[in-house]
């Protein structure tokens, strides 16, 4: 086991079985592992940082040397502030390699004392990514076996809420069209919906 602290940074939107597999492998190799969720991602996330953090905490509760945290700004600065010596990243396929190599070399340029360590998740997860999981789930497809059960459940809840909100918005738009484009005040909208 490598003495010292490693960080595993990422978006985790949401955590997949591939992420979890990598965390479990990392926890066997590093004395301490901090899974760090980027807070200021430019992408508009499906899950809030708090939701992602809470899911990861639940999923890693059995791993005593793993902690979940969030960070902002430069990853190497955050890693240094924790006293980390390694950055853990997963590589699933050759397609990941180019981006990961670029990032690792940039991070090395920014902070030469930090070493990036790449690990491969189990091959059964080699095609699983958060982006594809979101896409499949949003289109109503099954994500069983691709994400942990708690994530599957949260995806279902999130998509049900989204559907409900879209339906409410459609009703409001139809109300407006009914009134020849005239805006309704909220009380009128409610009365009209009840009618």
CB 12 within 8 A of CB 19: yes
**Nearest distance from C-beta of residue 7 to ligand PNS, angstroms:** 9
Distance linking the first and last C-alpha atoms of the chain: 68
Nearer to ligand PNS, 40 or 185 (CB): 40
Shorter beta-carbon distance to ligand PNS: residue 45 or 152? 45
Smallest distance, ligand PNS to C-beta of residue 104, A: 8
- Tell me how far, at minimum, the Cβ of 144 lies from ligand PNS, in Å: 22
Contact 17, 144 (CB under 8 A): no
For residue 123, the Cα-to-chain-centroid distance in whole angstroms is: 20
Active site members: 19, 43, 92, 130
Q: What is the DSSP letter of 123?
A: G
Using CB under 6 A, which residues numbered 5 to 64 contact ligand PNS? 9-11, 38
Taking Cα atoms as reference points, which of 153, 71, 74 lies closest to residue 114? 74
74 part of the interface to ligand PNS, by CB under 6 A:
yes
Binding residues for ligand PNS, rule: CB under 6 A, are: 9-11, 38, 74-75, 103, 106-107
């Amino acid at each position: 086991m490598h003495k010292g602290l490693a960080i595993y940074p990422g978006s985790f939107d949401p955590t997949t079985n591939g992420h979890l597999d990598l965390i479990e492998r990392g926890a066997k190799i590093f004395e301490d592992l901090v899974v760090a969720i980027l807070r200021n991602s430019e992408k508009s996330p499906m899950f809030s940082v708090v939701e992602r953090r809470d899911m990861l905490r639940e999923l890693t509760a059995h791993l005593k040397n793993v902690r979940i945290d969030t960070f902002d700004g430069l990853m190497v600065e955050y890693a240094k502030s924790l006293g980390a010596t390694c950055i853990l990243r997963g590589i699933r396929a050759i397609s990941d390699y180019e981006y990961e190599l670029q990032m690792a070399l940039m991070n090395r340029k920014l902070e030469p004392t930090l070493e990036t360590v790449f690990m491969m998740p189990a091959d059964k997860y080699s095609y699983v990514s958060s982006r594809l999981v979101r896409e499949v789930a949003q289109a109503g497809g099954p994500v069983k076996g691709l994400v942990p059960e708690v994530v599957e459940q949260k995806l279902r809840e999130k998509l049900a809420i989204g559907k409900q909100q879209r339906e409410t918005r459609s009703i409001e738009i139809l109300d407006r069209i009914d009134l020849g484009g005239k805006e309704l005040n909220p009380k009128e909208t409610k009365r009209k919906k009840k009618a």
